Amino acid sequence: MAKIKTIDLFAGCGGLTEGFAQTGLYETQACVEWESAQCQNLTKRLREKWAMLDADQRVIRFDIQRTEELLNGFSDPEYGESVGLERLVSGNLDLVIGGPPCQAYSIAGRIRDEHGMKNDYRNYLFESYLRVVEHFKPKAFVFENVPGLLSAKPDDIPIVELIQKQFADAGYVIMSDLHNAIIDVADYGVAQKRKRVIILGLRSDVYGDTAEELIEKFYKQVLPAFKVASPKTLRDAIGNLPALYPTGCVTTIDGRKTAHTISEGSVKNHISRFHNQRDIQLFSMLAEDIESGEEKYLSIEARKDLYTLHTGKTSNIHKYHVLRWDEPSTTIPAHLCKDGLRHIHPDSKQARTITVREAARIQSFPDDYEFIGAMTDQFKMIGNAVPPEFARRLGLAVGKLLFGF
């Protein structure tokens, strides 16, 4: 049976593409992403793992807002050259997947921004996604984003109302109440609490009167059938990785400083970011507080006070969190590129924040996905990614519902 032809928009380092590829059901025609580091990682992965020999052409680094050029080809001093999506997609496209950057919709992003992200251009990037969908007219699309999408109101107009109207005008049916489209990936084999809105859209002239019934079946029966019996814990995800202990001195490896031991194993990207002695002592104290059962720093106020005591600064949100061995991790965010203070390793003897590989495992990236480039970029792209294991199960569900697999 022929594979399902797919393109991935806002692809990042390829979490959705990776999971869909793992099903064996899909053929990726192209991926679009505007950040260079993400494109380099995705190109490498598609070429080395998935034998896409022309991955450097099929991974397009470009600004999706320039949709006509993206579709028809461009030559640009910043983005290079591409023949465009129209020439890369062979025959009829079956499915568009992806989701625009979530920062403009996220509750955390709105809290940090003095204008509540109302002036952020990323509020309307879904329109660029829609233009590509309108051009290719696939049978279906899968749109992923944060639950904050449902409450975002730039220009005092709910984004969700714009999405529902514009996709309907384009000839696609989606769920009427998207609050019922919120999924926690912890239910789908990912060792992390991470809620996301998954919008399945069906082309009305293909599915006709059955579209709404199929969508309801997807959310109530087909996708839930791929849930796991019990959540995967942090221990399940990272418990067998080599321990990295403080050394009392600074070592440089591959141009990166670390104050912890170096893993002798073959696991890539498992190097502790550099921590000074003050932070090492603090991480050890916080993890030991959990291990001992004393739990003096469980309250948010206690951790905010601790942050002020150690740094002389104040914060509206708590800065420290120790992950728990026998629970799913808290959400892995792109903010890890700045610091890992809310993702402290639970072993007090290791006294550090999590590594790139630990973040990747919590996100369900396989160990043979080697991340390249600056560590900050690696943390960012992992935090922004759709967890591949969830994407795999999502891909199986979509394939079963719509394509008879």
Report strand pairing: 80-82 vs 195-203. unpaired
**Buried b / exposed e along 286-317 (16+ C-beta atoms within 10 A):** bbebbeeeeeebeeeeebbebbeeeeeeeeee
List the structure tokens of 210: 């059955």
* Structure token digits, residue 141: 């699309």
119: confidence class by pLDDT, cuts 50, 70, 90: very low
Q: Which residues on neighbouring strands pair with residue 28, listed in sequence order?
A: 6
Please give the angle made by the CA atoms of 143, 105 and 225, to the nearest 5 degrees.
Answer: 40
| pLDDT per residue as tens digits for the range 253-311 | 888 999 999 987 789 999 999 999 999 999 999 999 999 999 999 888 888 888 888 88
Task: Say yes or no to pLDDT of 91 above 60.
Answer: yes
pLDDT at 353: 98
> So what's the pLDDT on residue 112?
47
Q: Please give the mean pLDDT across all residues of the chain.
A: 93
Rounded Cα distance, 249 and 382, in Å: 29
Reply yes or no on whether the pLDDT at 106 is more than 80: no
Which residue type occupies 245? Y
Mean pLDDT of 133-150: 96
Q: Mean of the pLDDT values across residues 6-29?
A: 98
- Domains annotated on the chain, with CATH: 4-233+384-403 (3.40.50.150), 234-369 (no CATH)
- The pTM (predicted TM-score) of the whole model is 0.94
Instruction: Please tell me the distance from the alpha carbon of residue 146 to that of residue 150, in angstroms, as a whole number.
Output: 8
Average pLDDT over residues 26-41: 98
The mean per-residue pLDDT over the stretch 222-240 comes to 98
Query: pLDDT tens digits, residue range 322-340?
Result: 999 999 999 999 999 999 9
Percent of the residues in the chain that have a pLDDT greater than 90, as a whole number:
82
Contact 67, 403 (CB under 8 A): no
The rounded Cα 28 to chain-centroid distance in angstroms is 18
Q: Is the pLDDT of residue 107 over 50?
A: no
Supply the pLDDT for residue 304.
86
Q: Which residues pair with 199 in a beta bridge?
A: 143
Instruction: Output the pLDDT for position 77.
Output: 97
pLDDT, residue 264, reads 75
Give the pLDDT score at 157: 86
Provide the pLDDT for residue 352. Answer: 98
